[in-house]
Amino acid sequence: MKHPLRQHIEELIELTNEEFAFILSHFESTTKRKHQYILQEGEIASKEYWVVKGCLKSYFFDEHGKEHILQFGMENWWITDYESFVKQTTSKINIDCIEDCELLYISYENREKLTKEMHKMERFWAKKSKYGRIALQNRILSLLKNSSKERYELLLEQYPQLFQRVPKKLIASYLGVSRETLSRLNN
Amino acid sequence: MKHPLRQHIEELIELTNEEFAFILSHFESTTKRKHQYILQEGEIASKEYWVVKGCLKSYFFDEHGKEHILQFGMENWWITDYESFVKQTTSKINIDCIEDCELLYISYENREKLTKEMHKMERFWAKKSKYGRIALQNRILSLLKNSSKERYELLLEQYPQLFQRVPKKLIASYLGVSRETLSRLNN
């Protein structure tokens, strides 16, 4: 059976066995329990994670101490504080596990090395980055344009399994609505 | 004097004369007058534009016919409907000139060809895409977290020249506030 990371990369880029072995040699693996964190505000994001199994959230607090969810991460998703990782500056966000997690990660240095040495991986991450940017653009369109009910329905349509795996109050925090509003939308 | 596009690319990637000539051979130039469009909703974005001179806006209408600004574009900025361009699907947005514009553009096919043939340009656009993604992430953080006054001040700090060049009602539409609110913030 193919390695799940190889399956994931080969959705966009074909690889030989040797190429995948070379890529994988740049990654390490780790496991985290529910509630453990992989990044805290004020740290520099030194790793980008790929989720083998589990679910995580990236979030930040506003000045009133209210939590806002920026992103969830599940199987086959990449997660880090993208700004902190790319610019190697201190992070404004936190990333915690909301389930027990199996993760692969690549360090900033290894990712730079790999993309410089291997045009195919530059191409892979360029494509992932494009799709990430499109998802963010659509979230902005949606925040500017859609009602909370419409945002809820879009999320349910795109990521139905989130609603099984993630507590309601986190969904509310992602959508930028109160838990009471979410309960009404849910019915 | 160096070509402005070369100066722009060399902020991230060093180029030889031959390399830049090869890159430039993939671009064409055009001029547009104020109020002309370069993309309309329902079309497929077949080109990515680089602004030599002038100012543009990308925007969409919600179901109440209200205009929302997604992005402005000025000198040295890239502008297209990123989703439509990358996926070659029909666009949800419009892009118009708000000043007379001199533009360079690259077609989808030429951009694909150039990034495949030249690792340096893959690397350049990967970096631009990363920064674009970071800007969008920060806009989402700001929409979730900041008051309209804070969003106004952030925009003023980041892009002071926008306030000289762009009509107030467009700034209000970008910030997602009414023109009256903007007038209050302005004082």
| Segment A126-169, tens digit of pLDDT | 999 888 889 888 888 888 888 888 888 888 888 888 889 998 88
Residue A70 makes CB contacts below 8 A (sequence gap 6+) with A58, A59, A60, A93, B137, B140, B141, B144
Question: Do A68 and B123 make contact, defined as CB atoms within 8 angstroms?
Answer: no
Distance (Å) of CA A28 to CA A2, A49, A52, A86: 18, 10, 12, 19
Token couple for A173: 């925090």
**Nearest 5°: CA angle at A33, between A27 and A35?**
115
Question: Do B70 and A143 make contact, defined as CB atoms within 8 angstroms?
Answer: no
Instruction: Quote the CA–CA distance of A153 and B56 in Å, as a whole number.
Output: 32
Query: Residues in chain B, how many?
Result: 187
Which pLDDT tens digit goes with each residue over A24-73? 999 999 999 999 999 999 999 999 999 999 999 999 988 888 888 988 99
- Which residue in chain A has the smallest CA separation from B66? A145
Count of CA atoms in the C-beta half-sphere (13 A) of A126 = 25
Chain B within 8 Å of A62 (Cβ-Cβ)? yes
Of B68, B131, B136, the CB nearest to A136: B136
Taking CB atoms and an 8 Å cutoff, what residues of chain B touch A133? 82, 129, 132-133, 136
Q: What is the pLDDT of residue B16?
A: 97
Q: What residues form DSSP beta bridges with B101?
A: B32
Question: Do B144 and A145 make contact, defined as CB atoms within 8 angstroms?
Answer: no
The pLDDT of residue A99 is above 80: yes
What DSSP character marks residue B91? -
Taking CB atoms and an 8 Å cutoff, what residues of chain A touch B134? 82-83, 86-87
Instruction: Quote the CA–CA distance of B157 and B76 in Å, as a whole number.
Output: 18
Token couple for A49: 């994670």
User: In percent, how much of chain B has pLDDT > 90?
Assistant: 61
Q: What is the pLDDT of residue A66?
A: 86
Chain B within 8 Å of A21 (Cβ-Cβ)? no
Lowest mean pLDDT among A5-14, A108-117, A168-177: A168-177
pLDDT average, residue stretch B83-112: 96
Secondary-structure breakdown of chain B: helix, strand, coil percentages, each rounded to the nearest 5: 50, 25, 30
What global pTM score does this model have?
Answer: 0.84
Chain A within 8 Å of B136 (Cβ-Cβ)? yes
Residue A83 makes CB contacts below 8 A (sequence gap 6+) with A89, A91, A92, B134, B137, B138
In angstroms, the separation between the Cα of residue A58 and the nearest Cα of chain B is 12
Question: Do B126 and A126 make contact, defined as CB atoms within 8 angstroms?
Answer: yes
Q: Of A59, A89, A44, whose CA–CA distance to A169 is shortest?
A: A59
Is the ipTM beyond the 0.85 threshold? no
Q: Of A151, A143, A147, whose CA–CA distance to B137 is shortest?
A: A143
Chain A within 8 Å of B4 (Cβ-Cβ)? no
Count how many pairs of residues, chain A against chain B, have C-beta atoms within 8 Å: 90
Neighbour tally for A144: CB within 10 Å: 19
Chain B within 8 Å of A131 (Cβ-Cβ)? yes
The pLDDT of residue B169 is above 90: no
| Cα radius of gyration rounded to whole Å, chain B | 17
Token couple for A54: 């589990």
Question: Do A141 and B68 make contact, defined as CB atoms within 8 angstroms?
Answer: yes
User: In percent, how much of chain B has pLDDT > 70?
Assistant: 99
Q: What is the pLDDT of residue B59?
A: 94
Which pLDDT tens digit goes with each residue over B39-91? 999 999 999 999 999 999 999 988 888 888 988 999 999 999 999 999 999 99
Q: What is the pLDDT of residue A187?
A: 62
Q: What is the pLDDT of residue B173?
A: 87
- Which residue in chain B has the smallest CA separation from A118? B119
Question: Do A82 and B136 make contact, defined as CB atoms within 8 angstroms?
Answer: no
Q: What is the pLDDT of residue B158?
A: 84
Q: What is the pLDDT of residue B146?
A: 81
Chain A within 8 Å of B64 (Cβ-Cβ)? no
